[in-house]
Each structure stands twice: as C-alpha cells, then as structure tokens.
Amino acid sequence: MRFGHFDDEAREYVITTPHTPYPWINYLGSQEFFSLISHQAGGYSFYRDARMRRLTRYRYNNVPTDTGGRYLYVNDGGDVWTPSYLPVKAELDHFETRHGLGYTRITGERRGVRVETLYFVPNGENAEIQRITVTNTSDAAKTLTLFTFVEFALWNALDDQTNYQRNLSVGEVEVEMDSPYGSAIYHKTEYRERRNHYAVHAVNVRAAGYDTDREAFTGEFNGLYDPQVPLSGVSGNSIAYGWYPMGSLSVPVELAPGESRVITVVLGYLENPDEEKWADDAHQIINKEPAHELLGKFATTEQVDAAFADLGASWTELLSRYTVTSTDPKLDRMVNIWNQYQCMVTFNMSRSASYFETGIGRGMGFRDSTQDVLGFVHLVPERARERILDIAATQFPDGSAYHQYQPLTKRGNLEVGSGFNDDPLWLIAAVAAYLKETGDYSILDEQVAFDNDDALADTLFEHLTRSFQHTVTHKGPHGLPLIGRADWNDCLNLNCFSTTPGESFQTTENQGGGVAESVFIGTQFVLYGADYAAIAERHGLPDVAAAARTEIAAMKATVEDSGWDGKWFRRAYDFYGTPIGTDEDTEGKIFIEPQGVAVMAGIGVQSTDPTAPEFAASKAALALDSVGEMLGCEHGLVLVYPGYTTYRLNMGEITTYPPGYKENGGIFCHNNPWVIIGETVLGRGDRAFDYYKRITPAYREDISEVHKLEPYVYAQMIAGKQAARMGEAKNSFLTGTAAWTFVAASQYLLGVRPDYDGLVVDPQIGPEVPEFIVTRVVRGATYEITVHNSGTPGTRARLTVDGNSIEGRLVPYAAPGTTVRVDCTV
C-alpha cells in the first residue's frame, strides 16, 4: 500500500494523505541553519548544533508522536483548522505534502479555503521561510483570521528538557508590532547575560495581534489541537514572563471568490557583536538591526521566489555529477535524486538530529563520519577535505581514535570512549575515496594535529601510517586483529561482561584480557591496507608500500585460515578464544559483516567467473552463497542468524536486543551493500541487484504499510525474519546506509568508479537493466558512458573510448573541460 508517489520531474515525493504509518520527514538547510519538518509540519529548527542552539521546541516520546512544529491555524468564521492536518485534525477536503530537495510544500483545503505553505531555508541565510498562499476556492467572500504558531526552546536542548526549576523563570521576549517589514516577536531568553543571539518570528504584514505566552495561547487545559486563541478568533496580546515563551501573530485575510493572498513568515537566528547588543541598554531592549536586515530580504514575494529558485539551481548543479538514465525509474530516482540527497543530509547531520536521534545524544562518530565521506565526496570535495582533516586531528598518537567528536569544537570527546579497533582503518577509506575523486595528493602533506594538540602534529600521510600500524601492532592469539571495545558492530562487546543495569557496553571493560579478536577487522585491514599501499606508492614511498603488502598478505592468509568456518567466514574469537559466528554454535552461526568485506578485499576469491570450475569451491563464493541462504529474506539480509534468544555475558549488547531487531538479526541496511559489492566482484550482478532492491526504499514503496518509514530514504534497520513485525523499518535518514548504497549502486552495479589513475567502468547489474547511460563529472571532465548490458553472470565489460577500443576497464582521466564518450558492452 502507498501513501503517495514520486514526482521525478519535480524531484519530490508527494504524500497524499496525512495518515502515513509514521511521520515522514524532510530536512531544510545545508549550511548553518537547519530544520526538520514532517509531512504534518512537525519538527524543529536549530543553528549549527542541535543540542547547543535549539531555536524551537520538540518533545520526543510525545503522544501522538508528532506533536509540535510550526503551525498555522485558520479561523474561517468560527471553523478552526490546520492545513497540515495536525494539530487540529479537522478533516480536509484536500491534503498534499511534497518533500523536495531542501524544501517542503504542504497544502490543505477545507470548506473553500486552500492554504499552501512552502517551507525552505534560503542559501546563505540563517532562517526558515514560509511562503503561505491562501486562496478562496469557494464562490462566496471569505473573512479569515490566520494564527501563526511556534514554540521557542531555551537554546540548550538538554537543559530545556531537564532544568525546569530555572527555566520556567528565565523566558523573555519582545514584541514589535510595527517592525519595518510587518510585525515581529523576538525570543531573547538569556540574552541579558552571556548570550549574544536571539530568534525572531515575523510576518511580512502588520499583524492584528500577538501571543508570546503559551498558556495564554492554548488556555490552561487545552492543547495544540484546540488552542483557545485561534478558537476565539482574537489574539490575547500576551507577554511571556518565564514559563513557556512562544510566538504567534494573527493576520486577518479578506478574500473574494477565487482570490489569493501570499504572506511570508520568517523564523530567523541572529547574532550581535558584544558591544552592539543593545538598542537601549537601560531598558534591555535588544538591537534588532540584524533582524531587520534579514526581514528586509524576504519582505516581498518576489524576493522569496528568487531565493527559492536559487536553492533549486544549487541542487541541480550538485546532482549533475552523477546521473543515470536507465529503463528502471526506481533505480534512476534513487541514484539521481534521493540517495545522493540522503548522503548530503548525513554530511550535514551526521547522526545528530532526526525523528530517532534527539540532537542531544551523539557527537559525530569517527567511523560514521569517515564512511559518510564515501557518499558525498563527489558532491562537495572541498568540504570532504575539510571534514577529513578535522576527523584526523582527533586521532590519538598511537593511531587509535576517540569514537566521537563534537562538531562545534571539532574536538574528540570520551563520552563513548575509545578503543574501537576498526575506527583507524576507516580514515584510510575516506582519504582513498578523496584521492580517487580529486587527485589532490597535497592533502597527504597537510600538517594535522594528533589528539587536537598542534604540538603533536604530523602529516596526514603519517596519520594513515599510524592507522595501518595500529592493526599491525594489535593482534591476538590467532594473528587476527584485537577487537577492543567493539568493531563496526558497536554491540559486539567481547570484553565487557556486564551484569550492572545501565552500564555502558561500549565504555566498560570488566575483563581486560587483550585476546578477543575480530575477523571483520582482518577483512577490513586487507581491503583498506591495499589502499594504504597504493597511496604510499603514489606518495613516493615504494618500500613502505612493499612492507605494507607483506603485512596484508599475512593477514589475508590468517583470515582464510583461522577466520574460516567451513562454509563462511567466522565473526570473531571471544575472551576465551572461542569462535563466534560458527556452525558449531546453536545461535549466531553466521554474521554478515566479514563475508561481504572479505570478498570486496579479494579474500577467498579464486575466480570472478561463476561458470569457471574453480569458482564454486572458492571461499568467496561459498561465503556469499551461505549469506543468501541463511541471512536472506524478502526484506534484505539480516545481520546474524539465528539471532540470540538469551543474554550472553561474553558478547554484550548484541544479545540484549530481541531476536530480529537491530544488531541481533535485524536487517542492518548498512552492511547489505558490502554483500552487494561482493557479488559484483564475483560477477553475479543478478544477485547483487536483487539484494539492492530488497532494501532500497523506492522498491519498497508498495509495502509502505509494512515498511512504515519514508519510501524515499534508507532506514538504518528493517526488522528481520525472526521479528514479530518483520519488514518494519526504524531510524530513517541518518545512517551509513546512505553512503554505502550509493557506492554500491553507482560504482558497482552501474559500475562507474573513480580510481587513482582513471575512471573504472565495470557494470555488474544482471539482466534486468539492459541499457543505460551514466554521465559522470570527475576532475573537471565529463564522461558519457553508454552501456549495453547482457547481464550474463561472469561477463565483464569491454570498452571503446571515443571510438577506440581499449584493453581493460580503466578509462584514463581526461583533461578538465573535455567530454569523453565511452561505449561499454557487458
């Protein structure tokens, strides 16, 4: 069942009913000011840091879920309703929400009044704009009153939810009914002391009245669904003194039949220099100059429309670097629009603010952010460079890493500790992706601090060396890498042994033994070690490259030997040296993580031609066959099978989840692409594409009532085959799945990937997509690649470049400004 449809031309998802199975959200903003907005106008806004500079309030765990947002109440001769359906829930004659790239447009119509609101954050501005178009669709004159609504948060979102003894006394506002461009409400809590920032909520017309005290607006016993002021039709002109400051402005609107009127609402964030904080110091009247300047930029509809056009143009430019035109519209819309869009959202948000992440919990993850780079490096290479250097500067001198860092300060924090032994290797992955995309080797010579201490700075290349060496010097009894606190799987905590409720599985090591090993890190080391060696070579260090390759060969042999279980790769060895992820166990027999990455790294690969006799017996093919058989279900590949039914002290958090959920046998979408890529390595594009379709939202749109979350973005997890509600997704938007599925689809299924010395063209997508054209802009040149695809397993691409056939599948990089035509037959 669907709740809307894609509009590919407009690059929108169109939701046609308010009754989706969960709030379906979008993000506004891509620089410093951000908003979350659901299809019912729920959500909130913040400046740079969702925890420290929260502008508006949102209550997680609310009933119903999505209560709180920026709302517009319409009083039409006593009939009060909200065009976003929530919060009033009056039935609408027409409802539609269009989520687009950095904007959302919500339309509601009732009893001859249509209200369409376009929400967006203009490029370069710290403001959310609402362009509201009210139309009288009836044949009688209408006299309406509109009431805007926004509830302010007292800046620090954590404190805002916890410290009521103080906060209910500090709220302060100012009202400016005759502002130069209409009427405005200023939220200035704590501005009197150490803050130099405030928020403004304004309309571009002279309002009839205002409210700034939430209780006066709703009435003592009413809620947002039946607030007294809109019901009465007249603003209370209330001033907040503490309690709950909010902003509402009322605007009377008279409309002849067929007539429309456009009104603009602005929510802005402003700062003043310390010496210019006040317009009137004695009366503590704030300096509103920067707010007036902002409001002056959006005073007319023409100004608003120009800013909106500019936003669209910047997205068109961004998304032009990788496009595909194929016979499969679902594939095209994911690759061209939504998957890349989601990659940008992960770049902006990391894992901070979504409808599943509160914006107060996590800093940026070392491993998460480095992997995110893989998905956006082609979109914003300069910003990827900066991100890489910021992350590298939090690395410890011994190569290990803080697991998280704070985006505002760019410093590592120990909230989730350190000692996750996969972390260092992801830095190599990010730098390799950056070098392949840009060819900018100067990044390797950048001086980068260790532990944010400039006195310890060394080159970025030295950082990579310490990442590589960290694995070399931290091996266990089998010669496999020590796992430390955990590896990619945060919940595989082999040294924790926790019996205390609430104790952190990730930061507690109750039995430090230094023996628990990770096969996964072994595979990761072989994969990214090869990049380290390639980079060392290009950095003029052939001896370093050769020594690295010796280490890699040794690890490869170890994984094939101690890491092999008979039909798949094992997952780990625990504190006692007992294997995890083995057929000998009753549960947790096979894990997904090492299988895909091993094959990506070439471990156990004897042939890439499935018809060759040695193929079938290869460890790679056996492992991926086992994945398909044991981990596969219609909704994707589960992480582990069978999931654990009891708590295992020696394994930690993974066994705390009910079987079928999260790391304990959920479909953790992040690592499905590793198997997808592995299948393309083995020349089995048909299987790869099949797995891709199982988790990719556009292909799941028809089962939205099961999937529950947005059909345009990936979720972190889909409940697995042991779950009671198999197929139900959770944690949409902020997940490494975005980057990895984009890599899998663009670089391996469609097969166009930048390498160090040229663009590889090597599609493996099976027979369902017989013809397609990829346009790829890289290093300033444009490659137009036309693919004729038989989809026969094991067939590899043959290429002609500008009419000449070439050996192999590497198209050398062309001069910037040129267009290269590649013809590819598979």
Catalytically annotated residue among 423, 487, 490, 565: 490
* Shortest CB 403 distance to ligand GLC, Å: 8
Cβ atoms of 307 and 129 within 8 Å: the answer is yes
* Min dist. Cβ of residue 633 to ligand GLC (A): 19
By C-beta, is 13 or 355 nearer to ligand GLC?
A: 355
Q: At what angle do helices 381-392 and 366-376 cross, to 10 degrees?
A: 160
Give the nearest distance from C-beta 528 to ligand GLC in angstroms: 15
Q: Minimum distance between the CB of residue 280 and ligand GLC, rounded to whole angstroms?
A: 48
Chain center to CA of 314: 19
> What distance, in Å, lies between the first and last C-alpha atoms of the chain?
36
Contact by Cβ (8 Å): 635, 718: yes
Least Å from the CB of residue 508 to ligand GLC: 12
Shortest distance, position 429 Cβ to ligand GLC, whole Å: 13
Q: Using the minimum distance from each CB to ligand GLC, give the nearer residue, 174 or 368.
A: 368
Provide CB contacts within 8 A for 117, sequence distance 6+.
41, 72, 83, 84, 105, 106, 107, 130, 131, 132, 133
Closer to ligand GLC by CB, 176 or 663: give it.
Answer: 663
Amino acid at 611: T
Q: Report the C-alpha gap between 151 and 765 in whole angstroms.
A: 49
Q: What are phi and psi of 359, to 5 degrees?
A: 80, 0
Closest by CA to 135, choosing from 161, 117, 157, is 117
Nearer to ligand GLC, 236 or 736 (CB): 736
Q: Which is nearer to ligand GLC, 739 or 785 (CB)?
A: 739
Asked whether 725 and 716 are in contact (CB, 8 A), the reply is no
- Any catalytic annotation for residue 490? yes
- Specify burial of residue 589 (Cβ count, 10 A radius: 0-12, 13-18, 19+): buried
Q: Greatest CA separation found in the chain?
A: 88
Dihedral over Cα of 296, 299, 305, 311: its sign: positive
Residue 125 DSSP class: -
Residue closer to ligand GLC, measured from CB, 437 or 490 = 490
Residue 777 in tokens: 């802009």
Site residues for ligand GLC per CB under 6 A? 351, 365, 367-368, 416, 488-491, 506, 653, 662-663, 716, 735-736
d(C-alpha 211, C-alpha 197), whole Å:
21
Strand partners, 252: 145
DSSP code string of 682-741: TT-HHHHHHHHHHH-HHHHGGGHHHH-S-TTS-EEEE--TTSTTTT-EEEESSSTHHHHH
* DSSP-based three-state secondary structure for 218: helix
Cβ closest to ligand GLC, residue 12 vs residue 663:
663
Please give the C-alpha separations between residue 213 and each of 153, 237, 455, in angstroms, as whole numbers. Answer: 13, 9, 52
- Residue nearest ligand GLC by beta-carbon distance: 490
Residues facing 482 on adjacent strands? 517
Residue 490 or 509 having the CB closest to ligand GLC = 490
State the minimum distance, in angstroms, from the CB of residue 433 to ligand GLC.
18
- Minimal distance in Å, beta carbon 489 to ligand GLC? 5
- Cα–Cα–Cα angle for 171, 177, 182, rounded to 5 degrees: 120
SS3 label, residue 402: strand
Task: Tell me the closest approach of the beta carbon of residue 505 to ligand GLC, in angstroms.
Answer: 7
Nearer to ligand GLC, 591 or 712 (CB): 591
Q: How many residues make up the chain in this entry?
A: 826
Catalytic residues: 490
